[in-house]
Structure formats: structure tokens, C-alpha cells
Structure 1
């Protein structure tokens, strides 16, 4: 920072330590000292619009996201009667779906109840477009819009990252996490061992580790049908992938 003529703003500097509740309770008090400033750890930090908590549950981020999306849903609802269906669809995609999809790969492995709350927002957005009653089922509306459910949107995003990594169109820090599964040196050749599109799967040491790209990406990729993994271009891959997650598409 000195070389680049920058000065640390300690009031905006944060750090946190992630771990299980049991592990954090065993930890001695920690502080970060930079120059003459002492910075104490936070329970959550914000980075590029995402809020990370010390248990990596992403609950605080989801709470913030729900508050933001509900704010925009209320505003859209106020002017909905002045908009036609196509315009409402575009507005919802810009203001609602963009927020639900931003950084959603980090929500892999989040609590089921938190993902259900996000799904409820997606359902509200679909009903808003069609002026449906709150008691109506959202399923046919989501089918008409060809919107993937929240959990499938997360899997879709991670799978797309893997495809880009394998095509050489992703940052090295992600690509280095993925390695192709090696053929056995000895023993009979099986169908899975001859599949060159499979990746080496990893096992996390704990629940936090299971959420990492290192573990989740190969697991999701290997669960896809081989015909999808063999797609040649990103547009064709996205099309067959969406059909896989949403058969009615």
C-alpha cells in the first residue's frame, strides 16, 4: 500500500475467522495489527456485495437479499397496473432475477429453509408478472416463464463455471481446482473409467468444506449426463443443461 501511495482506512477494514461453532469457541481472542491500528474480528464481512458470516452459512447475506428484493417487489407492484405483461417481465428480470442470480454459486449448501425463502421470492415475482392471486400455485407460472427454481439456478451457475474452466475461459484460481479423472493403470476398463469427461471428485472435511468449489464443482459436473458434459459450445451447453434441470423447457 505504501508503494502504491495508499493509506489503510482502519474504519473500513474488516476481517473474520470462519469455522464451526465448536471450533470458534475454542479459539483464543484474535486481533489484527496494521501499523498502529488494532482491528478486531467481525462476525460478518462484505465483499463485492456478498456478506460472509463466520459460520459460512450465508444466512446474513440471504436476509439482506430478501430485504432488497422485497423492496423492489413492492415498488413494482405499485406501478404494475400501468405496465403490460411483457414490460413487467423485463422489469422483474432486471430488478429481481439479477439480484437472485448474483453470486448465487456461493449459496450452494446453504440451509434449506433459507433457500425456501428465496424460492418464495421467485414465486412472488412470477405471480406479479401474471397478476395472479397469492393463493395460486406458482408452478404453472414458472413453467410458462421457463424459470429454473432457486436450487437449480445455483447448480446451473456452478456447472457453467466448470464448463468455462474446462474450455480455458475462466480464471486460473478456479481452473486449478479441477482435474480430469485418470484412467486406471491396471485392472479392467469400465464405462466410467473410460469416460474422459469426468473430473476427480473430492470429499470435504466438514460441512463448510463441502460448500467449496473444490468439492461441489466436480460432484455436480460428474452427476450430469455424459451428453451434456460433451457439449462443444457454451450456448449449446446452457441449452441442454437447462433442459436437464427443467425438463419442460
Structure 2
């Protein structure tokens, strides 16, 4: 920090300990002393706009996204009769979709309950654009707008990162993915599959990019995995996920 002419603000420093609930219950309020200031343990901390909690459930972040999104939805609803559908969709993308999309790859592996809560936000936004009633089924509105459901959109982001990592378009810390190498010669050797590593803790390890990315990547059709460019891959992937979401 001194090399970059920065000074640490000890009063604003947050100390977050991440582990399982059982382990955290055994720890008695640890503290850190930084530059003469005692920093106490925080239940959550914000990093690049994402609120992390001590068990990586991301529950505080999800609550914040939902609260902020519905606040903007109510404001957009007030002026919806005065704007055209394309203008309303631009407002939704600017204030709602951008929040649902930001760093959503971190949400891989969270509970289905939290996914459904985020899906309610997207459903409400779709109803606002298409003037759908609350008792109407939401699937036709989502298909009309060509929106992927939240769970499929998270999968999309992970797979795009995987493609970039395999083609040296991603940061180096994401490129540690091993090709699948069977013990004997098989047809799957040249199928572009990735080796799936086992993890000790499903709640943490299975959500890691190095574990989750190969599992999702291997589930794709081979013609999508071998796309010639990122643009082609994104187009084919969205079509594939859209067909999967709305069969």
C-alpha cells in the first residue's frame, strides 16, 4: 500500500472469518490489532459491492439485492403507463437486471429457496414490462422477453467463464482446469471434457469454480464445447439453456 501511495484506514477495516457454523460456534470473538487499532470480528463484509457473510450463504447480499430491486420496480411501475414497452425494458435492464446479473456466478450452489426469491424479482419485472396479471403464468412472459431464469443465468455465467479460462481469456487464477484423461483410450478422450475433482465439504468445496465448472462443462453437447469463438459459444449456449429452461 505504501508503494502505491495508499494508507490503510484502520477504523474502517473489517475482519471476517469464513467457516462452517459448527466451527464458528467454537471460536470466542477473535480480534486483530492493525496499526494500533483493535479490529473486532464482523458478521459480514462488503467486497466490490457483494456482501459476504461468515458461512458464504450470501443471504445478506441476496436480501439487499431483493430490497433494492423492488424499490426500483415500484418507482418504475408509477411511470409505466407513460412509457413504451421498449423504454420500460431499458429501465428494467438498467435498474433490475443489472443487479440480478452482477457477480451472480457467486450464487452457484445456494439454496433453492434463495434462487426462488431472486426469481420472484425477475418475474415481477417481466410482468411489469408485458402487463401480465399476477394470476397469469409467468413462463410465456419470460419466453417473450427471451430471459433465462435465474438458475440458468447463473449456469450461463459459469460456463462463459469456463470457456474463457480454457482459451486463455480469463485471469490466471481461473485457468487451473485439468482435461479429462481416462486410464485407457476412449472416444471421450477427444471430446473436450474436464476432469472433475472431488472436494471434502459439499457446502464449500463443490461451489468452488475448479469443482463446479468441470461438472457443468461436461454436461454440454460437444458441438457447443468446441465452438470456434467466444461469440459463437455464447450464442449457442444461450440457445441451449433457453431450450432446456422452456422445453
Please indicate, yes or no, whether the TM-score normalized by the shorter chain is above 0.5.
yes
Residue of structure 1 equivalent to 2:112: 112
Aligned partners of 1:95, 1:142: CA distance in 2, in Å? 18
Structure 2 residues without counterparts, runs of 5 or longer: none
Aligned partners of 2:4, 2:235: CA distance in 1, in Å? 45
Shift of 1:196: 4.5
Task: Give the conservation status (yes or no) of the 8 Å contact 1:15–1:41.
Answer: yes
Aligned residues: CA RMSD: 1.5
Shift of 1:195: 2.8
Question: Is the deviation greater in 194-203 or in 167-176?
Answer: 194-203
**What SS does the aligned partner of 1:94 have?**
helix
Residue of structure 2 equivalent to 1:191: 187
Task: Give the conservation status (yes or no) of the 8 Å contact 1:17–1:41.
Answer: yes
Aligned partners of 2:71, 2:63: CA distance in 1, in Å? 13
Structure 1 residues without counterparts, runs of 5 or longer: none
Matches within 5 A, 1:7-86: 7-86=7-86
Aligned partners of 2:38, 2:147: CA distance in 1, in Å? 48
Aligned partners of 2:12, 2:190: CA distance in 1, in Å? 49
Residue of structure 1 equivalent to 2:198: 203
**What SS does the aligned partner of 2:194 have?**
coil
Question: Is the deviation greater in 64-73 or in 10-19?
Answer: 10-19
Task: Give the conservation status (yes or no) of the 8 Å contact 1:180–1:196.
Answer: no
Task: Give the conservation status (yes or no) of the 8 Å contact 1:161–1:170.
Answer: yes
The structure 2 residue matched to 1:219, chosen from 215, 218, 243, is 215
Residue of structure 2 equivalent to 1:182: 181
Residue of structure 2 equivalent to 1:126: 126
Aligned partners of 2:5, 2:96: CA distance in 1, in Å? 40
Aligned partners of 1:37, 1:217: CA distance in 2, in Å? 41
Residue of structure 2 equivalent to 1:244: 240
Task: Give the conservation status (yes or no) of the 8 Å contact 1:228–1:241.
Answer: yes
> Paired residues, what number?
244
Residue of structure 1 equivalent to 2:136: 136
Shift of 1:112: 0.9
Residue of structure 1 equivalent to 2:147: 147
**What SS does the aligned partner of 2:46 have?**
strand
Shift of 1:183: 4.4
Task: Give the conservation status (yes or no) of the 8 Å contact 2:126–2:141.
Answer: yes
Please list the CA deviations of residues 38-66 of structure 1 after superposition, one character each: whole Å capped at 9, or x if unmatched: 11111111000001110101111000000
Aligned partners of 1:170, 1:2: CA distance in 2, in Å? 29
**What SS does the aligned partner of 1:180 have?**
coil
**What SS does the aligned partner of 1:38 have?**
strand
Task: Give the conservation status (yes or no) of the 8 Å contact 2:109–2:207.
Answer: yes
Shift of 1:204: 2.2
2:227 is aligned with 1:231: yes
